[in-house]
């Protein structure tokens, strides 16, 4: 029997219903104009999102994965180059590197923030290193100042994976404005989500932007004139129209996410002694909390799978982002990495749990989630907890 969901992991209706008429009107305009591919709404949105993120150029593509792949190619990353990235990321980051022909060099993450360990990244740099990809995970940016220091010291490119960090801020920078280019995803559940797949590359560099425009459209500099091997990866005009209507609300939605995270922090604080520890925020008000992630540490009397199952039984949806680090995924075994190579990433994969997070999640719902976790911990005596070790 299906368990009724009382608190979903994501509820997009809370965002869409208040602006439903605007969204429908924007779609209707595209329908009437008939410019479904590379239309006016796309160029308008590209410019608006680039400006909002503090960059000059935006080039919309079919997905966040394509934004990484084609973006790296536009930055002249190719076979023979090495690209450093964290083992603790969604596989799209790794796939993007592999699709360029470059060699991915994985490094571990900080166990407290889940972000790439920049000291480990510095040690991994070789004469073949062309770029470093900081993944702004869960809505928190990797330190821009440290990234720029690395880029300057070792003369490497910084290519941001900002798929989860729309309008995130840290140290005076916005996500997408730090490196030579940045890839974003507009998957529906992102902070700024389309009604399907979509992505964008942001850059300050005109040459990169112009090459990206060609790569997404069969490598054509003009119609039927192809200067390089490109592909067909264009953000649909209808999706761009939807995103453009939602963009003015994004900052308020992000503020709502931050407030929700602060409520979670307060409600969960008493459970720290039970091994329930939120992923740390080192970005103050600049964290946009695409996800709210806790660690269920070894000191917790109940293991993660039991907690997740009990929450599900109460109608509370949760997620794990991500249960298997990139280096242990079967599809990438030929990279030569083994279990134990990145202990922090492996530890987090076994501990993390993502709680419901979306604009409109009420304080009472947050309390229900945290009270449910507290009840799960309290029902197990020390003897019973041994059963779950």
Please say whether the beta carbons of 233 and 60 come within 8 A. Answer: no
- The Cα 370–Cα 365 span in angstroms is 9
What is the token pair recorded at 285? 């008000």
Q: What are phi and psi of 46, to 5 degrees?
A: -55, -45
Q: Please state, in angstroms and rounded to a whole number, the distance separating the CA atoms of residues 8 and 355.
A: 9
- What are the E-state strand segments in the chain? 57-61, 82-86, 103-107, 129-132, 157-161, 169-170, 173-174, 181-185, 199-203, 220-222, 225-226, 276-278, 292-296, 352-355
The full DSSP string for 13-30 is HHHHGGGHHHHHHHHHHH
User: Per-residue b/e over 53-90, b at no fewer than 16 CB within 10 Å?
Assistant: bbbebbbbbbbbbbbbbbbbbbbebeeebbbbbbbbbb
C-alpha angle with apex 129: 124 to 130, nearest 5 degrees? 140
141 and 283 Cβ atoms separated by less than 8 Å:
yes
Contact indicator for 22, 236 with CB cutoff of 8 Å: no
Nearest to 268 by CA among 212, 307, 239, 314: 307
End-to-end CA distance of the chain: 29
Catalytic site residue from 40, 123, 128, 190: 190
The separation between CA 380 and the C-alpha centre of its own chain, rounded to angstroms, equals: 35
For the chain, counts of helices (H) and of strands (E): 14, 14
190 is catalytic: yes
List, by residue number, the catalytic residues: 190
């Amino acid at each position: 029997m299906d368990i009724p969901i009382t608190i979903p992991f994501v509820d997009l209706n809370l965002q869409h219903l208040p602006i439903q008429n605007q969204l429908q009107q924007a779609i209707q305009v595209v329908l009437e104009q008939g410019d479904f591919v590379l239309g006016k709404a796309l160029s308008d949105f590209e410019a608006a999102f680039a400006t909002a993120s503090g960059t000059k150029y935006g080039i919309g593509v079919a997905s966040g994965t394509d934004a990484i792949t084609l973006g790296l190619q536009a930055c002249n990353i190719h076979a023979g180059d090495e690209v450093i990235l964290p083992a603790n990321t969604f596989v799209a980051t790794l796939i993007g590197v592999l699709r360029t022909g470059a060699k991915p060099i994985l490094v571990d993450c900080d166990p407290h923030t889940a972000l790439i360990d920049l000291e480990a990244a510095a040690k991994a740099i070789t004469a073949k290193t062309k770029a470093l990809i900081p993944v702004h995970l869960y809505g928190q940016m990797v330190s821009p100042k440290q990234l720029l220091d690395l880029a300057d010291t070792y003369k490497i490119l910084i290519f941001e994976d900002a798929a989860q960090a729309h309008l995130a801020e840290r140290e005076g920078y916005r996500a997408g404005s730090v490196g030579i280019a940045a890839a974003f995803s507009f998957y529906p559940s992102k902070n700024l989500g389309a009604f399907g797949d979509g992505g964008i590359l942001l850059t300050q560099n005109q040459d990169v932007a112009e090459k990206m425009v060609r790569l997404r459209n069969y490598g054509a500099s003009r119609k039927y004139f192809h200067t390089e091997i490109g592909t067909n990866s264009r953000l649909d005009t209808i999706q761009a129209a939807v995103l453009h209507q939602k963009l003015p609300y994004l900052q308020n939605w992000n503020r709502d996410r931050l407030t929700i995270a602060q409520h979670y922090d307060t409600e969960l604080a008493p459970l720290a002694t039970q091994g329930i520890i939120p992923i740390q925020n080192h970005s103050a008000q600049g964290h946009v909390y695409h996800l709210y992630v806790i660690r269920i540490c070894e000191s917790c009397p109940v293991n993660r799978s039991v907690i997740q199952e009990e929450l599900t039984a109460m109608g509370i949806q949760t997620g794990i982002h991500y249960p298997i680090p990139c280096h242990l995924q079967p599809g990438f075994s030929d990279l030569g990495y083994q279990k134990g190579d990145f202990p922090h990433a492996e530890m987090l994969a076994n501990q993390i749990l993502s709680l419901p997070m979306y604009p409109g999640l009420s304080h009472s719902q947050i309390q229900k989630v945290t009270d449910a976790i507290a009840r799960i911990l309290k029902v197990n005596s020390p003897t019973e907890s041994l059963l779950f070790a």
